[in-house]
Structure 1
Amino acid sequence: MSLPLFPKYGELIPELKLEIWRQASLSPGVHYFHVKTRIDNLGGHVRRIEITPSGQVDSDPSVWRVRANIANIDKHSSDVTKKLLEGPSAKELWRPKRGKNPSAVIDCDNDVVCIRFHGPIYNPLIGRFVDFDKLSGIKRVAVEYKKNWTHDVPSYRTLIDPMFHCLCVNLVHKVTCPKTVADFIQYFPDIEVFYFMVKLTSPNIKPPPPAPRGKKRNRQGVVKKEGDQQPEPAPAESRTRTKAAQVISETFTKLRDIAERNKLETFEDKVNTYCEAREADTTCLTMHDEIWEVFGELKDLWRLIKLIKTKVPSPYQLREPELKVLVYTELHKR
């Protein structure tokens, strides 16, 4: 965003200029980062991590890039972004080694940090992990949920998508291992909310139920009635038999409206809009059962750990963030 796009910008009152930059700063926003582990050769545990941006300028939708670009356009843009880039909840996650590229700064209190983990996930409290300070302060952590994550992928493979392979003894979780998710959460000392993020794509949305025998649906996915009566509305979770883009658009509209009515969380980045979806709202997703089963098993695991700790005190603090789902799409930016 630059001033030449606003020929009348200079004539606006200060309040309107500030509002323009508040909206342009995309707060609260979403950031994407790669986290690569470095293994301790002595004990085989994660010793250190390296944090880098997720892609180049043209492929990374992270909000920190937007804020860095608008920070010095004029006094009003500077006033808006200063709190986000220099305030008490600002944290620098990455700094370029050379050149004039901006540092990656996030707002720990409000932004979501989506982690794309590279390498095996081990509990950092077991071993000699020394990089907690790099992830401290971050309160909202997300990973992109992929349907049918498998357990038979070698754990030392470079993982572009976080893959919570199972390391449980005498039990193999075929999709997502709650124990590995719990270990992942331990990397973040100040985590308050953990999200599975689901991108709305046609394969991720359940198809509509078949029309009753002897009846058909119209182009809008509505069951036709006999005679001249109005058609019966299709079930809320159904989708229309149209192009994939329309299916995605209509599904996201429904979920976003539910989020707005119930004052649930919403976020943005350069491309996508995100909204929180509760368990009752995600029944339209093909991975609905998988996600909430993992969350249920994760809570059971935490209860078991706390029970054990009452009998055998542990020096380690158990982190139990809220567990939520974010759905997102590049449509409906507004």
Structure 2
Amino acid sequence: MHNFLPFAWFEGQCIPFNDAKLSIATHALHYGTAAFGGMRAIPDPNNSKSFLLFRADKHAKRLCQSAKFLMTELDEDFVLNSLETFLVKNKPTQPVYIRPFVYTSDLGIAPRLHNIETNFFIYGIELGDYLSPDGVTCRVSSWTRQQDNSLPLRGKISGAYITSSLAKTEAVKSGFDEALLLNSQGKVSEASGMNIFIVRNGDLITPGVDQDILEGITRASVIELAKSNGINVIERPVDKTELFISDEVFLTGTAAKITPIKMIETTLMSKEMPTMNLLRDKLTKITEGLVPEYENWVKRVNID
């Protein structure tokens, strides 16, 4: 049972969630011509009238960049102001996941991005842990991550997530929690909706942007935090076999936050994860607005 927030931002205003409806002929529904964001907002532990949005500016910027692949312009300030209005109207009391969404809203049947209407909406859902904080089991998927020259992977394009959906279901139906996808070169790319990190000999390693990954905002935050704490960060290709001999392996994402991988296929991973634990602890404190030097990573919204 999903606990959707009672109001959605739809066609320029906040309306009851159940009244925000699209036609079955909506262009984006048929062709995947949409882009979305995913954001977390939590109650401010120091102010019951305030909610905290993690890296709202980065999320708004990425969504606007994604919109460019749909040949539409979306203004960052408009996105941020809409998010604030949305939160104030809903007045949530629990941590929420927010989904801003830009899409082709025409009712035509031709696959195109020219001479077409686009629109924007936001909805939210109460969400605690998307993946178990104690760790997940993973398998390497039989599905391959798309290439950037066939699909704009720098954006969160909705049509791209058919591969993630196939990989996730394949993993779950074969007894695992999550899927790891290789790219067309046979290198590790990412999970179904998260980036991946490994630790070897004290180095924090993650596939670079040339490995057909989504440029994750949590990923970028982890890299910045690691560097500021004296951890050597290397962005490079990662082989499948390297996963099995890593000292630590973990996933990052807005929904997943920082989640350890405890088993990959038949290989049990180490339970000792000092690097991940350090980064997860610091990131948690930052998202709760408890680290003054990272105050600019958190947008405070007064919902009273």
Return the structure number with greater strand share: 2
Higher RCO (Cα < 8 Å, 6 or more apart): 2
